[in-house]
Amino acid sequence: MTILIPILGDQLSHDLASLTGVDRADAVVLLMEVRDEARYVKHHKKKIALLFSAMRHFAEELREAGWTVDYVPLDAAGNTGSFSGEVGRALARHGASAVRVVEAGEWRVQAMLDGWAAQLGVPVEILPDDRFMCSKADFAEWAAARKRLVMEDFYREMRKRTGLLMSFGKPIGTRWNFDADNRKVPPRGLNTPGVATFEPDAITSEVLALVAAEFPDHFGELEPFRFAVTRAQALLALDHFIAHALPRFGDYQDAIVEGQAHLWHAALSPYINCGLLRAREVVEAAVRAHAEGAAPLNAVEGFVRQIIGWREYIRGIYWHAGPEYAESNALDATRDLPAFYWTAETDMRCIAQSVDQVRHEAYNHHIQRLMILGNFAMLAGVEPAQVEEWYLIVYADAYEWVELPNVHGMSQFADGGLLGSKPYAGGGAYINRMSDHCGRCRYNVKLKTGPEACPFNALYWDFLARHRDLLKDNSRLWRMYDGWDRLGPARQKETRASAAAFLDGLPGGAREWAR
């Protein structure tokens, strides 16, 4: 009896559950490049190239390890363009009588997997994705016992459960969280370590030509392409981060510096999310660096929290909340996403620089995503679905399970506070403190209103005023409302008029880049 083992593009892990406990002689592994996945949103060209190249290299490695691999390239004759179509064709091609697959990362694809048994007429075994450290069932149990799903509570539970940075049941360093030691304002002349980069080999070069030919209308610059595309390369990228960036990871976590895309961030999310790296091995490498005296606790704890805290929590929320999660629009935001999210053509330097960076790198770090691009969209009242689509398109690490809660919940507050306790809103002063954009911007960050003023300033107050009914009882915002009230009616009126004038002049959408 032959078993067909389909492996999806974000499941490129040699120890994937579907590959364990199977006799290689009885199995055919199927990898498929399918147009539906590349087109359900028009992903950044670099993201498609990363996945296709990583999939092709992974297939080679599986073959070398003794597996029979059926690889369907995008331009293969008869490629149906869909996962279900290709699994059906492969069953017939190999006379396979059963399917064994790891659950999908997102609702859309999981619905396909759930339909295969009926559609294809063979037994389909769907296995849990054990690459996550908290199973869906464990998250549901944790959530069921609580009124509020607070990330910090989840994180402490995960520390206890994994034993990471724990000693005799207590957190190493006697504190759970070293955030207070992090987030320093960056000094001038920072010398950052950069990230590990890799020259394209023959397989990648072929993929780059394919992507250039097949997806010319997608967002983003395809070349230069320097991503890791094999596990061995991704491990080198991890080593580079641990040796050169981790020791100062915490210090400037929130800083934004022009020309320094990555600062001391890891830039490992594309590799973790597609399976080249295991989340668990990444945090263990960081903890080891601390144990060996190579990285301080504030950096290592901050990094571990991002992964066993935020990453696992976000995934838990996605599956716990279900597809209805995407439907809420707590702030009734309806504006079209401005065209400059695609073109970078705006005088707001922080936005122009962030968009230009993502166009070239398929990457922005967390604070650019949250406090510049997300913050502006929320203050301007952009429809959450359009913001979500943009984030899913432009980042090499974007998959709906991780993009959606981060955007819909954390960044846009469209879930009304299920995920975050307050909207991540900020004015120009925050951006000026944490970045070097404002000094070179055509707008004046010190001015509060008028055509020369940084638009974030009036938009921030206008946002708070617009949503007062919804937000006024949030104790974390009382100080802000106090500040707004102290402005007095005349300045309030001027501020809101300034915001309205700016919003009236915003360009409309540029839908050709989207779906």
Name the site residues for ligand DLZ (rule: CB under 6 A).
8-10, 32-34, 37-38, 43, 48, 51, 104-106, 109, 399
Residue type, 105: G
- Reduced to 3 states, what is the DSSP secondary structure of residue 467? coil
CA distance 275 to 50: 12
Token representation of residue 233: 């390369």
Q: Does 267 bind ligand FAD (CB under 6 A)?
A: yes
Q: Minimum distance from CB of 443 to ligand DLZ (Å)? A: 37
Out of 269, 457, 495, 498, the residue judged to bind ligand FAD by CB under 6 A: 269
| Dihedral, 383, 385, 386, 390 alpha carbons, nearest 10 | 140
- Bond preceding residue 224 cis, omega within 30 of 0: yes
44 binds ligand FAD (CB under 6 A): no
Nearest residue to 512 (alpha-carbon basis) of 337, 319, 284: 337
Query: From edge to edge, which strands make up the β-sheet containing 98-102?
Result: 68-72, 27-32, 3-6, 98-102, 124-127
Verify binding: residue 370, ligand FAD, rule CB under 6 A: yes
Residue 495 interacts with ligand FAD (CB under 6 A): yes or no: no
Supply 319's token pair: 């599956």
In whole angstroms, the minimum distance from the beta carbon of 391 to ligand DLZ comes to 14
- Count the Cβ atoms, other than its own, within 10 Å of residue 145: 6
Question: Which residues, including other chains, have CB under 8 Å from residue 332's CB and lie 6 or more apart?
Answer: 381
45 binds ligand FAD (CB under 6 A): no
SS3 category, 132:
coil
Q: Tell me the DSSP string of 282-344.
A: HHHHHHHHHHTTSS-HHHHHHHHIIIIIIIHHHHHHHHHH-GGGGG--TT---BPPPTHHHH-
Q: How far is the CB of 470 from ligand FAD (least distance, A)?
A: 20
How far is 47 from 362, CA to CA, in rounded Å? 7
Which of ligand DLZ, ligand FAD, none binds 310 (CB below 5-8 Å, type-dependent)?
A: ligand FAD
Which C-beta is closer to ligand DLZ: that of 33 or that of 254?
33
Residue 254 corresponds to which tokens in the numbers above? 């929130």
Strands 170-171 and 166-167: what pairing? antiparallel
List % helix, strand, coil for the chain (3-state, nearest 5).
55, 5, 40
Answer whether 356's CB lies under 8 Å from 260's CB: no
Q: Under the criterion CB under 6 A, does residue 346 sit at the interface with ligand FAD?
A: no
Closer to ligand DLZ by CB, 87 or 378: give it. 87
Residue (6 or 423) nearer to ligand FAD, CB: 423
Strand partners, 3: 27, 98
Closer residue to ligand FAD in complex, CB, 390/484: 390
Q: Are 91 and 122 in contact (CB under 8 A)?
A: yes
With CA atoms as reference, report the closest residue to 511 among 362, 337, 392, 355. Answer: 337
The count of chain residues that interact with ligand FAD, using the rule CB under 6 A, is: 28
Regarding 365 and contact with ligand FAD (CB under 6 A), the answer is yes
Asked if residue 242 binds ligand FAD (CB under 6 A), the reply is no
Determine the interface stretch with ligand FAD among 156-164, 286-294, 365-373, 491-499 (rule: CB under 6 A). Answer: 365-373
State the binding string over 270-299 for ligand FAD (x if CB under 6 A, else -).
--xx--------------------------
The residue nearest ligand DLZ at its CB is 9
| Partner touching 273 among ligand FAD, ligand DLZ, none, CB below 5 to 8 Å by kind | ligand FAD
To the nearest whole angstrom, how small is the minimum distance from the Cβ of residue 371 to ligand FAD? 8
Segment lying near ligand FAD (by CB under 6 A), choices 82-90, 153-161, 303-311, 433-441: 303-311
Considering beta carbons, is residue 10 or 436 the nearer one to ligand FAD?
A: 10
Sole window of 64-72, 111-119, 196-204, 309-317 interacting with ligand FAD (rule: CB under 6 A): 309-317
Between 249 and 399, name the residue whose CB sits nearer to ligand DLZ: 399
104, interface contact from ligand FAD, ligand DLZ, none, CB < 5-8 Å by kind: ligand DLZ
Choices 71-79, 94-102, 208-216, 307-315; region in contact with ligand FAD by CB under 6 A: 307-315
The Cα 328–Cα 325 span in angstroms is: 6
Q: What are the helix (H) ranges across 165-201?
A: none
CA torsion, ordered 346, 513, 427, 422, to nearest 10 deg = 180
The pairing of beta strand 27-32 with beta strand 3-6: parallel
Q: Which does 269 bind (CB under 5 to 8 A by kind): ligand FAD, ligand DLZ, none?
A: ligand FAD
The mark string for 392-431 relative to ligand FAD (x by CB under 6 A, - otherwise) is ---x-xx---xx--xx--xx--------------------
The residue assigned the tokens 């607070």 is 150
- Select the binding partner of residue 410 from ligand DLZ, ligand FAD, none (C-beta < 5 to 8 A, by kind): ligand FAD
Q: Which does 404 bind (CB under 5 to 8 A by kind): ligand DLZ, ligand FAD, none?
A: none
Report the interface residues with ligand FAD, using CB under 6 A. 265-269, 272-273, 303, 306-307, 310-311, 314, 365-366, 369-370, 374, 391, 395, 397-398, 402-403, 406-407, 410-411
